[in-house]
Structure 1
Amino acid sequence: MLVSPDKLRESPFMGAPPYLGSTVPDPLTHTLGVTGARCVLVRGLTAGGGWALRFPAPGRLKVHAVLRGVSWLMVDGDEHPVLLEQGDAVAFGGGLSYVLASDPSVPPQDARALLGTSPQLFAHAGDEDIAEVVSVGAHFELNTAGEDLLLQALPPVIHLSRAGEEAPALCWLLDQMLREMSSDRPGADGVAEYLSQLVFAHVLRACLDGSESYPAGWLRALADERIAPALRLMHADPARPWHVTELARAAAMSRSVFAGVFTSVAGVPPLTYLHRWRMRLAEQTLLHKDTPVSELALSLGYASESAFSHAFKRATGVAPKRFRDAARVSRDRGEVERAVAAAFGGDAGPGG
């Protein structure tokens, strides 16, 4: 089922970041807003007997939770099937196709063909009289900044065991989302919206737990306690002309040691990180708010609209006003295309 874009409003997790004139609790909370993440599809899958479904690459972040039973996950390019047990969850980066099955030896059928004949919230695979497996899947769309920050830094597949901290929460949240979407209770759409935000937050938490093995970049920076004090300062007051010495002092390091540690973890020097963060904030504000460019420039620490416009164009290749116009046209067109695709069963992926 497609979640209507009109029902997904701005929040502390999604939509435009609340940095203008406010404080930021922590970098992760702030970054959740900058990704522009929103749940665009939630569906369930029941299955029984011998069954197998091949899913195309989602093309976006996707979360799958096993609510009952067990199934096998086979990701293209990986010769080792993974047994998913009740209470397990999986986060897909979006770039690989995969198969869900009762047994790795069962020939898979095309998941999209099944979904085309299953307009209900749940689709069923295998024996019609058996429902040994119940799972839920949710697709999350990210803006360009979110894809740059998250999808490029994540491994293609993350298996979250039921024994971990995040999988139980994800299973409960996805189950509740389906219940809300299938009910006529007052406030169901709003509840589903907030639940979807919590799903995304738990996925990011799970990602941060394993970020030591990721390449240098945003995720490793957020998870590194050594540079956390400096990140909090930059996120809380991005307009301030921070000096490396100040940031190093906050992290209780010498200037040279801090600069080396920060660069090795984040992949860029501290002030480059700050500059890129300002550009992310600018992109989100231009997309979601009608803030005048002159006001936005001052809020991000630029002495003039001209200085900000030059910096923004160097970073994005387009001037701020043109970016705002083009992004909004693209967003509106994308929402129409998603709605049409969902209506005709062309943009679907149940519990995978």
Structure 2
Amino acid sequence: MDAPPSAPAPGTTRGDPFSETLELTGVRCALSRGLTAAGAWALAFPAPGRLKIQAVLRGTVWLTVQGAGPPLRLEAGELAVLAGDRPYALASDPAVPAIDALPLLRASTAPFFHAGEAGRDIVTIGGHLELDTTAKDLLLGALPPVLHVGAGAAEAPTACWLMDQTLRELSSDRPGASFAADHLAPLLLVQVLRAFLTDAHACPCPTGWLRALADERIAPALHLMHGDPARPWTLAELARAVAMSRTSFAKRFKDVAGVPPLAYLRRWRMHRAEHALRRADTPLSVIASSLGYGSESAFSNAFKRTTGLSPRRYRETVRSA
């Protein structure tokens, strides 16, 4: 009998679901603003519609996200990551009535705006990360409404520095500032997602690839599928590779990933296909072969079932947009 497949060696990019998914995000910095405050204050913000990161550099800030539980206390050196689909408020105390933050934001284009009394008892930076359409489905759906990264987390100091540096770049007139900010954004995303994986068991989160990647029994199967997406994987092969019965493996995989193993593989192949169609003029036959489809027509049919568009039509649509 053939030996069970093994995952790629640690340190390789091939087969790393984390790195490969980040490659698909197309993440870039959309906006970064700082807030200084003192005294009693509270600001209400609409749903960002994008991945939102809030870092506290000085003082204490209370964050309330609509429908996401009690207010969250953020100390200096801590961050919160918001999936972006809910309104939220920042305050000196959750009991202070919040006023609309948008007039304050629109009143000035300066890097920092101010709330409350005179002084800088509070310094906090907020940033939005823009993601490609495919990545929104992959990433935002896998994150909880709000993720708290404590000051003790290994990733917190680096993430706070990246937030501060991004704001410095965007508020400067130095050559290449926007280019630098866009290249800091992926590093920031890496840090917050690493923090999520480190503390995934303590953080209630939706089913999805991130939760599956944090599951020590299921993660090796993700590495195998990502390492060789063209292979015609069977449920028996994957279960054997992680030393589980087919029934136990299938149930656990669906419980954490939200879909059965082979459905996950099909979906991942389509994400890779969308990425290839957006970014290069690679022939459809080459994309089909790289993803395990025996012919261009078989790939085209599978792609259209998933996206509603043929690969050629999809390529034309996203490029014209």
Instruction: Verify same fold: TM over 0.5.
Output: yes
Root-mean-square deviation (CA, aligned residues, Å) is 2.2
The CA deviation string for residues 71-90 of structure 1, in whole angstroms up to 9 with x for no partner, is 22222346733322111111
Q: 1:318 — aligned with what? A: 309
SS at match of 1:287: helix
Counterpart of 2:313, as a letter, is R
Contact 1:47 1:125 in 2 (8 A): yes
CA distance in 2 between counterparts of 1:109 and 1:180 reads: 29
Q: Which residue of 1 aligns with 2:292?
A: 301
**Corresponding residue of 1:166:** 155
Change (3 A) 1:109 1:254: closer
- When residues 187 and 116 of structure 1 are mapped into structure 2, their CA distance, relative to the original with a 3 A threshold, is closer
TM-score (normalizing by structure 2) = 0.88
- Equivalent of residue 267 in structure 1, options 258, 265, 273: 258
* Displacement of 1:210: 4.1
CA distance, structure 2, for counterparts of residue 288 and residue 24 of structure 1: 19
Look up the SS of the partner of 2:168 in the other structure: helix
Would you say the 8 A contact 2:141–2:206 is kept in 1? no
User: 5 Å matches for 1:124-139?
Assistant: 124-127=114-117, 129-139=118-128
Please state if 1:214 is matched with 2:215.
Answer: no
Q: Distance in 1 between matches of 2:236 and 2:200?
A: 27
Paired residues for 1:5-16 under 5 Å: none
Using the TM superposition, give the Cα deviation of residue 187 of structure 1 relative to its aligned residue in structure 2, in angstroms. 5.1
Say which SS state the counterpart of residue 275 (structure 1) adopts: helix
Contact 1:37–1:143 under 8 Å retained in 2: yes
Q: How does 1:189-208 map to 2 (within 5 A)?
A: 189-208=178-197
- Which of 112, 115, 121 in structure 2 is aligned with 1:122? 112
Q: Please, which of 69, 77, 100 is the counterpart of residue 59 of structure 2?
A: 69
Separation in 1, partners of 2:123, 2:159 = 14
How far 1:188 moved relative to its partner?
Answer: 4.1
The alpha carbon displacement at 1:231 in A equals 1.5
1:251 and 2:242 aligned: yes
Aligned to 2:138: 149
**Deviation larger for 179-188 or 200-209:** 179-188
Q: Structure 1: which 5+ residue stretches go unaligned?
A: 1-21, 331-352
Equivalent residue, structure 2, for 1:232: 223
Aligned to 1:241: 232
1:292 corresponds to 2:307: no
Q: C-alpha distance in 1, partners of 2:302/2:15?
A: 27
1:285-333 deviation digits (Å, cap 9, x = unpaired): 1112221222211111111111101000001111111112222333xxx
Q: In the alignment, is the contact (CA less than 8 A) between 1:23 and 1:237 conserved in 2?
A: no
Measured in 2, the distance between the counterparts of 1:223 and 1:80 equals: 25
SS of residue matched to 1:124 = strand
Q: Deviations over 1:140-191 (max 9, x none)?
A: 1223322222222322112222122332222121112122333455654444
Given candidates 179, 198, 208, the residue that maps to 2:168 is 179
- For the structure 1 residues 239 and 185, does the alpha-carbon distance in structure 2 shift closer, same or farther, using more than 3 Å as the test? same
Structure 1 residues 200 and 50 mapped into 2: Cα distance closer, same or farther (>3 Å)?
same
Question: Structure 1 length normalisation: TM-score?
Answer: 0.80
Whether 1:50 aligns to 2:40 is yes
Deviation per residue, 1:218-262 (Å, 9 max, x gap): 222111121222211211121122223332232233444333332
2:14 corresponds to which of 4, 9, 24: 24
Tell me how far 1:107 sits from its aligned partner: 3.2
- For 1:60, the equivalent position in structure 2 comes to 50
Amino acid in the other structure paired with 2:277: L
Count residues with an aligned counterpart.
308
36-45 vs 206-215, greater mean Cα deviation: 206-215
Alignment identity in percent?
Answer: 58
